[in-house]
Structures are given as structure tokens and as C-alpha cells.
A and B are shown apart, each in its own frame.
Chain A
Amino acid sequence: DLSNMMTNPLSTSKFLEEGVLTPEEFVAAGDLLVLKTPSWTWQPGNPKMLQKGLPKDKHYIVIKNVPSSMRISALESRSALSENREIEDGEWIATHINESALSEEAEDIPEIPTTNEKRDTNSDDDNIPEIDLDSLTVGDAENEDEGTLRNTNIVRTRTYDLSICYDQYHQTPRLWLFGYDENGKALTPEQVLEDISQEHVNKTVTIASHPHTGIPQAYIHPCKHALVMKKIIGRMVDSGKTPRVDQYLFLFLKFLHAAIPTIER
């Protein structure tokens, strides 16, 4: 991202006033997310795309294979949830957000035009395998094996790899999505858009190459994230809570979930 290279990172905290993060605060918030929900892991940055203020080995956070019927908010591990209950009232952010308030915030999501191509999922000629997969066999032992459980009520759903980068220009996190179909095959970016509610599909989602993996995928445009976060934080302060900057990503994911119910069906 050019903008990441051309701007200097924020150096003093403006979390409460503006809903934005310094790189150090992003790392602190990421550390807490990874600690509470170990399915998220830190990833090192692409050596050519290192961002100022972020440690080399902590550039973005990923979670893989999230079933698309899952609510992003449900990503909080049970351990985090049980901790919610243990920590005294007012300490833990996640329990104090009410969903309808978040939906309201989601309406603040800006309109960003994206290319809206025809969704030609299977029309490509080159989509046909050269090998006749049905003709491949592996011997009778497999079919005769008594121990293999067959025909269960297992229904695969679409799944997503999600990653959260630090957007230096907007001074907020930026969420990227990469999807897989029911058979584990990569979805095209256009197919990913199908999973994002129609209300938001052409307003907030853009397709670009991921800064660290180079893989083209969809991301939620961050230009109004700070504004929404500021409102959420302000509302918490009004109701006597003390928002903690390291809990930023929990709030962020909850708000994004309200905006894109995609990962919930």
C-alpha cells in the first residue's frame, strides 16, 4: 500500500478522542485477541511491505477455516466468554455492547463503489479438470473397510480465512476475507461478495491484493471505521464504562459483524 509508506504512523494515542489506533496500540489489541482467542494467530509481515511501528513478526492476525455460518462475534473463545462472567461488571467490554446499537452504527458504513462483475462461477471453459477424477481408484480395501464411517449428516459450509492488518493511513484495523466453497475450493472475489449482505455489498467491500500475501481478496473499506469506533467508545463512556484500548479488536469485530452478517447464515 502506497499510503502506508507515505504517511508517518500515529505516535500519540487518540483512541478515546478519535477511535483510532497507534501501531503500538494495534499490537496490544492484537495480543489480547490472540491471547483470548488462540484460533487467531500473529503473522510476520512481508519483508518488502514492513510497516513502521509494527514488530516484524506481528504484522497481521489471521484465523483460518471459519465456517460461514458463524457469527464473527462468536469467535470469542469460550475461555474469553467465561472470563467475561468472572471479571467484574464494567471491566470487560464485550458484554456491554448491545446488538441493535451496533446495527445502527453499521448504517454509518460509507458507500464505496466496487466493480460488480457478472458472477460467472462455472462458465469458464478452463474450469474443467484435465484428469477424470471419477476414474481414479485406490483399491478395494478402502471400500470394504468396516471402520470407515460413511453417509453422516455432515454438511460442509463455505469457510473463510480472515485477516486483520493495520491500516496506517486510516489508523484503524482493516479486515480481509478469503472464502472457500462447500468443497474447500477457493471462491473468486466475486463469489465472496455473495456472502456479504446485499445492503453492504457495493458500499463497503473492495477487492485488492493482500499487502502481505499478495493474494487478491476482499476487504472491508476502513475509511469510516474510526468514526464508528469513536461513536461506540463515546457511548461506552456515556454509560460510565472505561473503554480499554487493548479491547479495540473485540469491539471492532462485533461492529463488523453487525455490518456484514455474512459469516452467519
Chain B
Amino acid sequence: MSEDNKILQYQPFSTSVSVDFWFELTKKKLEEYKLSEAPVYIRGQYNASQFAALQETQAAEGKAQLPAVFQIDSESLHHEKPAQGVQFSCVSPGVLHNTNTSETFASLDKVVLLDKVAAQIWSDIESGKAIEDSSRLNRFLLLTFADLKKHHFYYWFAFPALQLNPAATATPSIPADQALGADRIDSIREQLSSQSSVEPFFLIHLGDRPTVKKISEYNAEGETVFAFLDPCYLTPHPGWPLRNFLTLISQKFQLKSCKILCYREHHAERSSIVIDVTLPSTTSQNQPKAVGWEKKANFVNLSKQMDPAKLMSASV
């Protein structure tokens, strides 16, 4: 480990729930789930490029950074339909626990809930399923309580991340075009843009010309950069999704160090960064501990949007 290595810190997601999600959940609860508290499959997404132009303006004006946004909407409750893949967006599989009472929402054992999803991620890494379908690394959890009389909604997201032990360390980040060469970054961008949908995690084989590959195409020969679509806008830090990917790299490819490209489509494609990561020297036999709950549960009051009486008074 080089001297300027530091423990790698990942930017957590800021979650965003589109209002149509609550309308759809209300409908599903009344017509379908009823009193069932059984977990339901859902999906959500994050994006590595959405507000490129804005981030450019913000940066130029020295304003605060944009958050790394994870979003769900009414489509999230229809996992059976094909996801609308926006370019450079990653669709994540999730599980929804909608409780019937505020007491259950408050008292459910959050550690156990998180651990269940973490166990799935771990098993997907061990079995190799996460190599075939890397979105499995992004499994998430959503706990909700919908008070349909008051139109109050409580929700709490978790993005389970398996902890490496000891934690991964990294060198300070370097702008990607500096670390890999602007021509290479342009070529990578071109290759990604020509794919109809980009995997959340992928590989780049360096060489005369860099080639974007699936992680299932990994081989120890030659120089490989591991890459992921990074929702984070910060220069010194990668976003949260990198965590489980590092666990996979350590466990399955048995690497002690690796080069990571945090691929971002922001400010004129010059915001992608490269970090050299040092991983634990031994792999783990058992499922590591996991973290990933949002710092606080959230509350949203939609009585103004949903209550028929209030709507009447607000309409023209």
C-alpha cells in the first residue's frame, strides 16, 4: 500500500420518490396487496449522466455539488414490464416491505432486513450470478408504511453494501483522461454510447485500443480497468455502487489491487475519475457484515394532492 492511500469513502445515495409512486402504491394496496405484508419485487434506478449540462453550470459558478440520486416512480411497482432504459441509467432490483401499521414500520428489525438482502448479494457473488448480471450487486430494500386515511407515507431505503475487512484503501483520484489518456476515454465513451443499454459494471481491456467488455469476460492477462456507471458528482470520491463491485473483484478475481474507472457523463465527459484501490489480502469465507440504511426514515404528506376535499378548494 502506498503512503498516500486512504480508506476509500463512498458517497451514499440521495433518494427521490416520484409522487406517482405513492398513487400507484395506494392503488396496489387497495386492489392487490390488501392486508398482505409479503415483500414485493420492485425496481429503481440511478443515472450516470442525466444532468450533465446543469452540473457544468453549477461547477462553473462554484455552486454546491448535485447529489447522487436514486429514484423510483410508479413504474417501479411494475417489474414485470420491461424497464425504460435511458442511456447511462442503471435499473436496480429491489424488494418492498409495505407494513400495515406505523408500529410495524417502526419496530421491524432493520438489521435483519438488511442482512437478508446482503445475503442474496453475497450468494450472487459466490455463485457467479452477479458476474453474469451485475445489476444484482445493486439490490436495494424499501420499507414503507402508507397511512391511506391521512395520505401520509413513511419510507426508508437501504442499499446493502458488504463491508470489506480490512476496508479498501485508494490513492487520491485522478481525472480519467489524465490517468488513461483523453483518446482512450473518448473511445470508451464511443463504445458505451453505441450499446443499447450499458451494464452497471463492466471492464476495459487496455491495449493499443481500449475495449469495453462484460465482467464475465475477465481474464488475468493484459491490463484491465474495472469500471462502473457512477452516479456521484464528487471529484475525490466514488459513488456507493462501487462497494459490492470491489467485494466481487476481491472474492472472485482474487485481486489484491485494481484500477477503477468511475465513469461519469458529467461536465463535458471530463469528470470521470480513476482510482487505484488496494483490497484485503485474503478473501472472506463467510458473508461479511453489511451496512446501507439511509441515515433517517422519511415522511411525506400528500393530503394536499390526494384528499378530494382539499383538491376541490385548490382547483380553479
Q: Find A74's partner among B23, B54, B114 (CB 8 Å cutoff).
A: B54
Q: List 10 A-B contacts (CB under 8 A).
A: A67-B66, A117-B314, A134-B296, A135-B106, A147-B168, A154-B64, A183-B298, A185-B298, A215-B20, A216-B311
- Docked-complex contact A64 and B18, CB < 8 angstroms: yes
* A74–B14 CA distance with the chains assembled, in angstroms: 22
Total count of chain B residues near the partner, CB < 8 A: 77
- Docked-complex contact B8 and A147, CB < 8 angstroms: yes
Q: Is A148 an interface residue (CB 8 A)?
A: yes
- Docked-complex contact B10 and A148, CB < 8 angstroms: yes
Extra 18 A-B pairs, beta carbons < 8 Å, given A131-B154, A136-B106:
A65-B16, A71-B57, A129-B154, A131-B106, A133-B296, A135-B106, A136-B110, A147-B161, A147-B168, A153-B64, A180-B16, A183-B298, A184-B15, A185-B299, A188-B304, A207-B314, A215-B19, A216-B314
Total count of chain A residues near the partner, CB < 8 A: 64
Q: Which residues of chain A from 132 to 158 have any CB-CB distance to chain B below 8 Å in the complex?
A: 133-139, 141-142, 145-149, 152-156
Q: Is A29 an interface residue (CB 8 A)?
A: no
Interface 1/0s, chain A 116-130, versus B by CB < 8 A?
A: 010000001011011
* A70–B145 CA distance with the chains assembled, in angstroms: 33
Q: Which residues of A contact B105 (CB under 8 A)?
A: 131
Q: Find B86's partner among A39, A147, A178 (CB 8 Å cutoff).
A: A39
Q: Which residues of B contact A84 (CB under 8 A)?
A: none
Q: Which residues of chain B from 283 to 316 have any CB-CB distance to chain A below 8 Å in the complex?
A: 289-293, 296-305, 311, 313-316
- Docked-complex contact B114 and A148, CB < 8 angstroms: no
A-B contact count (CB 8 A): 185
Q: Which residues of A contact B297 (CB under 8 A)?
A: 131, 133, 136
- Docked-complex contact A139 and B18, CB < 8 angstroms: no
Q: Which residues of A contact B84 (CB under 8 A)?
A: 41
Q: Chain A interface: which of B33-41, B45-53, B123-131, B202-210?
A: B45-53
Q: Which residues of B contact A136 (CB under 8 A)?
A: 106, 110, 156, 296-297
Tell whether A67 pairs with B9 under 8 Å between CB atoms, given A148-B291, A214-B23.
Answer: no
CB distance from A110 to the nearest CB of B (A): 15
* A218–B102 CA distance with the chains assembled, in angstroms: 32
Q: Which residues of chain A from 178 to 201 have any CB-CB distance to chain B below 8 Å in the complex?
A: 178, 180, 183-186, 188-190
Q: Which residues of chain A from 185 to 238 have any CB-CB distance to chain B below 8 Å in the complex?
A: 185-186, 188-190, 206-209, 213-216
Q: Which residues of B contact A127 (CB under 8 A)?
A: 301
- Docked-complex contact A186 and B102, CB < 8 angstroms: no
* A63–B257 CA distance with the chains assembled, in angstroms: 40
Q: Which residues of B contact A178 (CB under 8 A)?
A: 19
- Docked-complex contact B10 and A186, CB < 8 angstroms: no
Interface 1/0s, chain B 253-292, versus A by CB < 8 A?
A: 0000000000001001100000000000000000001111
CB distance from A211 to the nearest CB of B (A): 14
